[in-house]
Amino acid sequence: MNQLYPIFLKVHELNVLLVGGGNVGTEKLEFLLKSSPRAQVTAVAKAFSPSFLEVAGRSETVTMIEDAYDEKYLGGKHIVIAATDDKAVNRQIRDEAKERFLLVNVADTPDLCDFYLGGIVTKGNLKIAISTNGKSPTTAKRLRQLLEDVLPEEIDDLLQNLHAYRDTLKGDFEQKVKAMNELTEGLVRKG
């Protein structure tokens, strides 16, 4: 049973610590920046790969510190991603972050994670997150690709128009919900 609770975080308003500058660290950084191009990320690594430097170089909100992990880097952070190639260091990061009540993701170690970075589809203001509870990242990827292909680019225009219409509605909350439900009913009607 999937017991995950999906939420959408404003990572451009939170401080993220990413420890690791190799392939996995690059993947995690790409994921963060794809979903939230202004994500506030401090990356700490003994060395950064060329691909990591390329990805980080595209963002003004990524700070890189060339150093070994130290607990001091947890200060002022909200979220921590451990992506080193050393399982003991990843465990240390997780344990020290948990002592501070921080949310932690440890790459490729689901049992040490508070959250997972799942598949995400973004079409303007529409964002859909996909999780397989860690059972099949490949399936999540394929579903993401399917939704990206199926959802029209014009979906954002529809959302903008519905938002403008909602703002013109008068009456109490229940009347507004009823009007919006009637208007959007056709979106999910099965042929």
Q: Any idea which residues carry the catalytic annotation?
A: 108
Q: What span, in angstroms and rounded, lies between the C-alpha atoms of 161 and 181?
A: 15
Q: Are strands 119-123 and 126-130 parallel, antiparallel or unpaired?
A: antiparallel
Q: What span, in angstroms and rounded, lies between the C-alpha atoms of 167 and 79?
A: 35
* Structure tokens, 186: 């056709």
